Amino acid sequence: MLNVNLIDPIEFANGSMLQEGSVGLAQLDERIAQHEFLVPAETTLQYRLKGGVDKLQRPYLNLSLQGELTLMCQRCLTAMSLELDESVRIVLFSKEDVMDEAMDSDPELEGMLAEAELSVWSLLEDQIIMALPYAPRHDDCGNTDLERVNNDKPNPFAQLAKLKPNQ
């Protein structure tokens, strides 16, 4: 393998190969490097990719990813920390209909079609995106101005309840 980022996934899995290291967010595709929630920083994540074959003789890739991401809180627009600790087993399939059948019978199964060449970075990017919260926000932003403004507003549902005739 000339490029450690590119692997033959079937060969990698059947050979029970291992690849581990670190990757900076800036090294990844722009969908991560320029993601709207991620605060630009010199963030480095640790990853481990291990191949294998399961009891049904299906090749798989175990991917784990750890690190700390800095996100933009969507409530107070300040930086917040997200501890990333993700692990996934991706079963490789050569035919889409076989993959669909296996995934229908096991909802927990993560599967993908095996390609001749697979980018490890692409796997990492997908895992990061799936781990990001839909709308990151602090449990408590600690912003007294924001709390004061929100407390001054009447609850619209309470106002609707007043309009409802008594039953």
pLDDT digits (tens, 9 = 90+) for 89-130: 999 999 999 999 999 999 899 999 999 999 999 999 999 989
- This prediction has a pTM of 0.76
Residue with tokens 């019978």: 105
Q: For residue 147, what pLDDT is reported?
A: 60
Q: For residue 98, what pLDDT is reported?
A: 92
* Beta-ladder partners of 66: 46, 85
**Pick from 25, 26, 139: which is nearest to 81 by CA?**
139
Q: For residue 100, what pLDDT is reported?
A: 92
Residue with tokens 């697979």: 118
155 φ, ψ to 5°? -70, 120
Residues of the chain with pLDDT under 50: 1-2
Length of the chain: 167
Domain boundaries, the chain: 6-139
